[in-house]
Structure 1
Amino acid sequence: MKQANSGALVVFGLVLIAGLGGALLARGALYLGMHEGDTLHLLDMALRMGLHGQWPHLDFMTPIGILAIAPIAGLVAMGLGIGTAILWAQVLVALVLLLPLVRMAGSRFGGLWSYVMLGYGVVLCLALVHGLANPAPSVSMHYNRWAWAIVYVVLPLALLPDRGRARPYLDGALIGLGVGALVLIKVTYAAALGPGILVALLVRREWRVLVVAVVAGCAVLAVMTALGGSGFWVAYLTDLLTVAQSETRPAPGGIDFADAVAGPANMPSSILALAVVVLLRMTGRKAEGLALLVLAPGLFYVTWQNFGNDPQWLLLLGAAVFALLRTDQPDSRHAGRLHDAMKIAGVAALALTASSAVNIAYSPIRHLFAEAGNTVPLLSALAGQDDIRVAEKRLYKVDAGVPLDGVGQPFAAYHDRADRKELSRLKGEVLPACELSTGYNAMFETIAADLEAQGHAGSAVLTADLLGSLWMFGDLKPLKGGAPWYYGGAPGLAAADLVVVPLCPTTEKSRATILAALEKSGWRFDELRRTDVYILLRPVRP
Structure 2
Amino acid sequence: MTIRQGGWRLAVFLLAVVAVMGGLALGKGGLFIAKHEGDTLHLADMVLRMARGQVPHLDYATPIGILAVAPVAGLVALGAGLGHALILAQTLLALLLVPAILRAGPSRMQGPWPFVLGALVLIFVLALVHGEAEPSTSISMHYNRWAWAISYLVLVLAVLPPLPGRARPWLDGALIGLGMAALALMKMTFFAAFALPVLLALALRREGRALLAALVAGLAVAAVATMLLGTGFWAAYLGDLLQVAGSDVRPQPGASFTGVLTEPLYRLVSILAILAVVFLRKGGQADLGLVLIVLFPAFAFVTYQNYGNDPQWIYLLALLAFVARPEPGTRRAWGFDLRDGLTAVGIAAFAHGAPSLQNMAYSPLLHLRLGENSQPVGGEALADIHVLDSRMAALAGTSSIAAPDFSQLAPPALAEDAKVSDRPALLNGETLPRCALSTGLTAWLHAVTADLEAAGQSGKGIFTTDTLSLFWMFGDFHPLDQGAPWYYDGLPGLADADLVLVPLCPLSPSGRTAALEALAEAGTELTEIRRTSLYILLGKNAP
TM-score range, shorter chain: over 0.9
Instruction: State how many pairs are aligned.
Output: 531
- Give the secondary-structure state (helix, strand or coil) at the position aligned to 2:530: strand
The amino acid that maps onto 1:103 is R
Displacement of 1:406? 3.6
CA distance in 2, matches of 1:61, 1:332: 55
Are the equivalent residues in 2 in contact too, given 1:329–1:335 (CA < 8 A)? no
In the alignment, which residue of structure 2 is the partner of 1:185?
Answer: 186
The amino acid that maps onto 2:373 is N
CA distance in 2, matches of 1:388, 1:238: 32
Which stretch has the larger CA shift, 331-340 or 175-184? 331-340
CA distance in 1, matches of 2:139, 2:332: 51
| 1:477-500 deviation per Cα after TM superposition (whole angstroms, max 9, x unaligned) | 111111111101111011111111
In the alignment, which residue of structure 2 is the partner of 1:476?
Answer: 477
In the alignment, which residue of structure 1 is the partner of 2:107?
Answer: 107
2:538 aligned with 1:537: yes
Q: Structure 1 416/334 Cα, relative in aligned 2: closer, same or farther at 3 Å? A: closer
**Structure 2 length as normaliser, TM-score?**
0.94
| 1:52-91 deviation per Cα after TM superposition (whole angstroms, max 9, x unaligned) | 2111111111100000011111111111111011110110
In the alignment, which residue of structure 1 is the partner of 2:50?
Answer: 49
- Give the secondary-structure state (helix, strand or coil) at the position aligned to 1:462: strand
- Give the secondary-structure state (helix, strand or coil) at the position aligned to 2:264: coil
Which stretch has the larger CA shift, 8-17 or 239-248? 8-17
Displacement of 1:191? 0.3
CA distance in 2, matches of 1:211, 1:335: 43
- Give the secondary-structure state (helix, strand or coil) at the position aligned to 1:135: coil
In the alignment, which residue of structure 2 is the partner of 1:199?
Answer: 200
Q: Structure 1 281/377 Cα, relative in aligned 2: closer, same or farther at 3 Å? A: same
CA distance in 2, matches of 1:234, 1:335: 56
CA distance in 1, matches of 2:331, 2:234: 52
Match of 1:393 among 366, 378, 390: 390
Displacement of 1:6? 2.3
Q: Aligned-residue CA RMSD in angstroms?
A: 2.1
The amino acid that maps onto 1:181 is A
Displacement of 1:291? 0.9
The amino acid that maps onto 1:451 is L
- Give the secondary-structure state (helix, strand or coil) at the position aligned to 1:373: coil
Are the equivalent residues in 1 in contact too, given 2:325–2:342 (CA < 8 A)? yes
Displacement of 1:354? 1.1
In the alignment, which residue of structure 1 is the partner of 2:72?
Answer: 72
- Give the secondary-structure state (helix, strand or coil) at the position aligned to 1:266: helix
Displacement of 1:335? 8.8
CA distance in 1, matches of 2:389, 2:480: 28
- Give the secondary-structure state (helix, strand or coil) at the position aligned to 1:185: coil
Are the equivalent residues in 1 in contact too, given 2:181–2:221 (CA < 8 A)? yes
Displacement of 1:450? 1.6
CA distance in 1, matches of 2:331, 2:433: 71
In the alignment, which residue of structure 1 is the partner of 2:427?
Answer: 426
Displacement of 1:151? 0.7
1:153-232 equivalences under 5 Å are 153-163=153-163, 164-232=165-233
Q: Structure 1 303/406 Cα, relative in aligned 2: closer, same or farther at 3 Å? A: same
Which stretch has the larger CA shift, 383-392 or 25-34? 383-392
CA distance in 1, matches of 2:107, 2:54: 41
- Give the secondary-structure state (helix, strand or coil) at the position aligned to 1:529: strand
2:271 aligned with 1:281: no
Unaligned 5+ runs, structure 2: none
| 1:319-367 deviation per Cα after TM superposition (whole angstroms, max 9, x unaligned) | 1111111228876687962121111111111111111111111211221
Are the equivalent residues in 1 in contact too, given 2:11–2:102 (CA < 8 A)? yes
Are the equivalent residues in 2 in contact too, given 1:4–1:109 (CA < 8 A)? no
CA distance in 2, matches of 1:422, 1:377: 37
**Structure 1 length as normaliser, TM-score?**
0.94
Are the equivalent residues in 1 in contact too, given 2:404–2:424 (CA < 8 A)? no
Which stretch has the larger CA shift, 473-482 or 303-312? 473-482
Displacement of 1:526? 2.1
CA distance in 2, matches of 1:383, 1:100: 37
CA distance in 2, matches of 1:241, 1:285: 39
CA distance in 1, matches of 2:185, 2:137: 26
In the alignment, which residue of structure 2 is the partner of 1:315?
Answer: 315
Displacement of 1:522? 2.6
Are the equivalent residues in 2 in contact too, given 1:4–1:114 (CA < 8 A)? no
In the alignment, which residue of structure 2 is the partner of 1:244?
Answer: 245
The amino acid that maps onto 2:363 is S
| 1:442-462 deviation per Cα after TM superposition (whole angstroms, max 9, x unaligned) | 221121112111222121111
2:297 aligned with 1:270: no
Are the equivalent residues in 2 in contact too, given 1:284–1:330 (CA < 8 A)? no
Are the equivalent residues in 1 in contact too, given 2:189–2:302 (CA < 8 A)? yes
Displacement of 1:525? 2.1
The amino acid that maps onto 2:503 is P
In the alignment, which residue of structure 2 is the partner of 1:377?
Answer: 376
